[in-house]
Amino acid sequence: MNRRASTFAVHAILAAYTLLALFPIFLILINSVKSRTAIFGSPLSLPGPDTFSLVGYQKVFSDSQVPLYFFNSVLVTVVTIALVLIIGAMAAWALTEYGFKGATLLKLYLSIGIMVPIRLGSVAILKLIVGMGLVNTWTGLILVYTAQGLPLSVFILSEFVGQIPKDLKEAGRAEGVSEYQIFVYVILPLLRPAMATVAVFSMIPVWNDLWFPLLLAPGNGAQTITLGIQQFIGEYVTDWNAVLAALSVAIIPVLVLYVVFSRQLIRGLTAGAVK
């Protein structure tokens, strides 16, 4: 009875937290298809025949450049995640498998990158991007976000690489397989749960970020979705229909990523906790 009671209590707490976390998303979705009057008059009610309206989505897709901003965010995020995973996995393999002087110091240096927010170096980063001529470009954002995500990627993947049995690697070397082939065909498949975890943790800060797009890509068609939504928010008047519709569109990639990688994400988090 005590075990059942404790299990029920844990599930009740988790269910309450889930509802609390999903409630803002629910409000955004239902109010994005309601008229402006209904949004302020009854924000908690579901849209009905008299309150249903798609004017927000019409403004987003027809009267603005939000589709372009959405594409920019998808491109920057996908390329950043790919670079973070590839470079992070190779760095984790090198730091864990091959002993060399300074490896421990290098790991410590990368760990500092997790603790120190990258925004503290915004002025230096802006000067560097301006000097390289990468202002208002996807490349500037991708480089900054890749540098931001690599410390955590290397930290997580190094722990997983260190737990891979040496017999697998030695068997490949005994068969005459090159180090590159061992990395691609032996190490990477075993790192999928960890890489899924890194992908989710890297994707969300990049997708939701407003700071660096505002500094590095404020114009010239390189704006991201978070920056593009700001066009509907004025000093005195805010188009809430368009804001909520744009936010609903921006939520979709995060939900899709979680649905696709949920099983790998849970495996990665669980394995990391056990290790």
* Domain of residue 158, CATH code: 1.10.3720.10
Reported as a single tens digit per residue, the pLDDT across 46-56 is: 888 888 988 88
**pLDDT band of 116, cuts 50, 70, 90:** confident
Task: Let me know whether 204 and 139 are in one domain.
Answer: yes
Residues 70, 45 within the same domain: no
- State which of 24, 55, 86 marks the end of a domain: 55
Q: What is the pLDDT of residues 130-182, one digit of tens each?
A: 999 999 999 999 999 999 999 889 888 888 888 888 887 778 777 788 888 88
Same domain, yes or no: 99 and 182: yes
Confidence of residue 268 (pLDDT cuts 50, 70, 90): low
Q: Are residues 151 and 46 in the same domain?
A: no
Query: Domain residues for 19?
Result: 1-55
Give the residue-averaged pLDDT of 90-111. Answer: 80
Q: Are residues 87 and 34 in the same domain?
A: no
- pTM listed for this prediction: 0.82
41 & 103 share domain: no
Q: How many domains does the chain have?
A: 2
- Do 84 and 118 lie in one domain? The reply is yes
The set of long-range contacts for 32-36, using a CB threshold of 8 Å and a minimum separation of 24, is 32/56, 32/57, 32/241, 32/244, 32/245, 32/247, 32/248, 33/57, 35/241, 36/240, 36/241
Q: Are residues 112 and 187 in the same domain?
A: yes
Matching residue, tokens 């309450």: 16
80 plus 196 within the same structural domain: yes
Least confidently predicted of 17-31, 143-157, 255-269: 255-269
Same domain? For 41 and 94 the reply is no
- 191-239 pLDDT per residue, tens: 888 888 888 888 888 998 989 998 998 888 888 988 888 878 776 678 8
User: Are residues 128 and 1 located together in one domain of the fold?
Assistant: no
Same-domain check for residues 173 and 120: yes
**Final residue before a domain boundary, out of 55, 75, 90:** 55
Burial of 183-207, coded b for 16+ CB within 10 Å and e otherwise, reads beebbbeebebbbbbbbbbbbeebb
Q: Considering only 34-38, 83-87, 122-126, 170-174, which range has the smallest mean pLDDT?
A: 170-174
What is the predicted pLDDT for the residue at 257? 76
- Provide the pLDDT for residue 269: 58
pLDDT at residue 275 is higher than 80: no
